[in-house]
Copies of this chain bind each other. A is one copy, B any other.
């Protein structure tokens, strides 16, 4: 969740453009509710099964389970692999959400241990796998690496090696929706083939209110549903959240190639600005990082200055995992960023770089 203090919230709200999450237009609570209400005129709203069936078809797997969060979906996945293998160790890339944003739930709540592998700005790869682990978590695209994907050949090698050593692969596919163009428009089913399970998010790129799914074999998902109840995530009514997801999913997937093209144009528009770096360049999906030569406090002050002067809120968060004097501004392209004229974005980033330069 974004945490901003009151002053910042109010500056952010005064901006005419806001590129932070949520990423799409018409995304206020009132607009979600108005759209849902139209859907509900005709009856009771869709069941979770309707969405789950659609998801199994998209990903070519036998079963899927809706659940409220990715933390829940992935904690359950790790736990099931650990129980099945009688191994507690799970392989995580060092940028994994489970290591950074979940209060160590994988360990504290689920009894897993982490084998941390990889380099911050390199995708997961075959040689990082081992057979002493219950499973490997592979985030695709890798969010904290700016949306990095393994090449198709590297992905195939990773799948083959995992199969050869009998290691189950779990995909952290929170943002997998954006991966098809990088893989020459191969289907989602082909991309995830070889993975035993996949988690996908419905609120980030899709823009639904809340929600996620865990996808896999039928026995795996049956077991996951028991854990969903045990962990207190079987909600008495999910129909609003399901309806909102079904309302948006197809539309966002149709929009996605345009968002990715926009991300590439935005990256091109700023790549020559001094002292900053686009990573990866070119972007591989609908997100990328802008690496800034300062700490997050200075970056936020510069962001606020740009907001005051130009009315453009460039980003909510600046990640400072990679050193004291560098931070990563995360740009995710949805309807809002796609609608901003490229030169306005470029001018905002240019001013941001100047503000940072002045502060040092």
Contact = CB atoms under 8 A, between A and B. Distances in A.
B40 A230 contact: no
A141 interface: no
A235 B233 CA distance: 11
B70 A232 contact: yes
Contacts of A36: 29, 33
Nearest to A72: B232
Contact of A231 (B33, B40, B41, B105): B105
A236 interface: yes
Chain copies in complex: 2
Contact of A210 (B30, B41, B75, B235): B235
A245 B227 CA distance: 27
A226 interface: yes
A254 interface: no
B37 A33 contact: yes
Interface string A233-264: 11111111001000000000000000000000
Contact of A229 (B103, B237, B239): B103
Contacts of A318: none
A210 B242 CA distance: 14
Contacts of A34: 37
A69 to B, nearest CB: 4
Interface string A199-219: 000010000011000000000
B72 A231 contact: yes
Interface string A1-38: 10000000000000000000000000011101110110
A9 B172 CA distance: 37
14 contacts: A29-B40, A29-B45, A30-B37, A33-B36, A33-B240, A69-B236, A71-B230, A75-B231, A103-B226, A103-B229, A108-B230, A109-B227, A210-B237, A240-B240
Given A109-B230, A209-B240, 8 more contacts: A29-B240, A29-B243, A37-B37, A72-B232, A104-B230, A203-B236, A210-B235, A210-B237
